[in-house]
Amino acid sequence: MPAVVIADAGVAGPAGAQALHDAGHRVRPAGGRRVLLAPITITPSKPLTPSHLKGLLWTDVMYRATRPLAEVRYRYSHTTYHPTEQTLGFWEFLDRTQGDAAYQDLTEQEIGDHYVAFRAAGERAAARSLRPYADAVEQGWVHPASARILELWSEQYRALGLHDPGLRAHQPPGLGLDEMLDGLAARGLCLDHRRIGGPVHLDLTRHGLPLRQIVTADGRPNYLACALRELVPLAGDFDEIVLLYDPELDPDYQLLERILADLGPTVRRVPVGRVPIDGSIRSARHGGWGHHHAGPLLTAALAEYDGPAVRLGMRLYFIAVLGPGQEQSFRPELLRQCLGRAQRLLATGESGQLGTPALAGLLGRHRRDHTYVDPYRLTTSLLGKRAPAPSPELLTEVFV
């Protein structure tokens, strides 16, 4: 039975809450379990580093491998996270320091250099300076620097064979900040001191978890507040929500898990470790990405291998070789080996048709008690010495 898949691109409209509510109903059953994949987005301000590529490829394989088994929705909305201070502050910094720059002519590295300068300046714009940006985001506006980044990323997504979950679409969260906070307060899940000029905290103290500020006293929401505006209204429409995130954010994701689970679904936390460069895990805010980012990596790979080999090889390296942890530094020579391995796997792939039920059975083996397919288990299964050659359907459906 074909799965019913609603990708998010184009879901959003001016009546965001209603649109999302309706969208939620559209994924309702044609039988299988309903799964929501909700990875954290990458701030569109810089090149995609190996850490970012790993997270994106990991999520992509999970999404495509789970599709034959369940009704999957891959929610990845930049609109949702634009209101965070690191994005709005960057835009305000650009306009203040660069004025009318021609961002459409810049590379992601050049825009990334501005981002590094912004973070290095360490200035914090006044809340009133960010307000026009926050207001414009709610109307669908994106700063041209980030629009340019998202355009470049879209091209790289295509080259990497990544499903585009609506990178450049206006996908507002289903709830406004006030509505979301009122809902949580009514359930005793947040402590809202805005009326007395104070901040807002998530309150899971009944579970022994410490308060976590999500809106500052001067009204700036952090990424958790943004995530909750999006995920709270979606939670009731799904049986399983999979949160993919950087392990450094684990305490926050424990809070998120509790809140979403309170709304009904089973919540799975899947930390995906970062990729150290020369032994150290560096935030992209410090720059120093050199040639280790998506553009040059793709150019080098495509100069030597064809598209399918690059797409499969990237997945073999970033998923099977690096694994879920973050112990191994990025090694270009291993990536290159994986591209070669992918070329050979594609050349020896079985020519016979597997059939949808057989494919579902094969994919279903790479699960435990959850509905989603584990990308690591599935991808490593391709590399076993005695593993049979992968079927063309598996490769087409999931890896290339």
Partner 1 sequence: MSPLQEDLVDRAGRRVRHARPDLAERFDLSTLAGLLDAQQSVAAAASAEETLVVAVIHHLELAEWAGATCAFAFGLDPVAGARWRRSFTRTVFLAGNPANLRERFRFAHVAGDSTAAWTTPGPGPNASTLRRLLKLFDAPAGPPARPDTLVRLPGRPTTGHRDLYLATEGCSLADALVHLNHVLVEAVLDGLIAPGDSLTLRQVPRLIGIATPFAALRVVTDPHRPDRLKAAAGLTEETPVG
Q: Which residues bind partner 1 (CB under 8 A)?
A: 188, 191, 193, 196-199, 201, 203, 205-206, 208-211, 213, 217
* Beta carbon nearer to partner 1, 53 or 214: 214
Cβ contact 50:58 at 8 Å: no
User: Residue for token digits 């999520």?
Assistant: 59
Q: Which is nearer to partner 1, 210 or 325 (CB)?
A: 210
What are the two backbone dihedrals, phi and then psi, of residue 297, each rounded to the nearest 5 degrees? Answer: -65, -40
Q: Nearest approach, Cβ of 74 to partner 1 (angstroms)?
A: 34
Q: With respect to partner 1, which residue has the nearer C-beta, 251 or 325?
A: 251
Place of tokens 């935030």: 283
Shortest Å, Cβ 219 to partner 1: 12
Query: To the nearest whole angstrom, how small is the minimum distance from the Cβ of residue 196 to partner 1?
Result: 5
Residue whose CB is less far from partner 1, 210 or 355: 210
Both tokens of residue 143?
């700063």
Output 28 or 193, the one with its CB closest to partner 1.
Answer: 193
Please give the span between the terminal C-alpha atoms of the chain, in angstroms, as a whole number: 22
Of 197 and 352, the one with the shorter C-beta distance to partner 1 is 197
Can you tell me the distance from the alpha carbon of 343 to that of 337, in angstroms, rounded to the nearest whole number?
10
Min dist. Cβ of residue 269 to partner 1 (A)? 21
Among the residues of 82-215, which ranges form H helices?
A: 85-98, 108-121, 127-138, 144-160, 177-186
Q: How far is the CB of 258 from partner 1 (least distance, A)?
A: 12
Distance CA 340, CA 382 (A): 14
Cβ proximity to partner 1: between 104 and 205 the closer is 205
* Secondary structure of 325-358 as H, E, C letters: CCCCCCCHHHHHHHHHHHHHHHHHCCCCCCCHHH
Instruction: For the CB of residue 182, give the shortest distance to partner 1 in the complex, in Å.
Output: 14
Q: How far is the CB of 381 from partner 1 (least distance, A)?
A: 44
What distance in Å separates the CA atoms of residue 127 and residue 120, rounded to the nearest whole number? Answer: 20
Minimum CB separation of residue 229 from partner 1 in Å reads 21
Whole-angstrom distance, CA of residue 312 vs CA of residue 320: 11
The pairing of strands 34-39 and 71-74 is: parallel
R_g of the chain computed on alpha carbons = 21
Q: What are phi and psi of 277, to 5 degrees?
A: -110, 120
Task: Quote the least distance from Cβ 201 to partner 1, whole Å.
Answer: 6
Nearest Cα residue to 143 out of 184, 83, 190? 83
**Closer Cβ to partner 1, 199 or 247, answer by number:** 199
Q: Which one, of 143, 140, 130, lies nearest residue 99 by Cα?
A: 143
Q: Rounded to the nearest whole angstrom, what is the least distance from the CB of residue 213 to partner 1 in the complex?
A: 7
Helix (H) or strand (E) holding 214: strand 212-215
Cα angle, residue 395 at apex, residues 390 and 398 outer, rounded to 5°: 125
Cβ proximity to partner 1, 206 vs 368, nearer residue: 206
- Residue with smaller CB distance to partner 1, 176 or 199: 199
Q: How far apart are CA 320 and CA 379, in angstroms?
A: 6
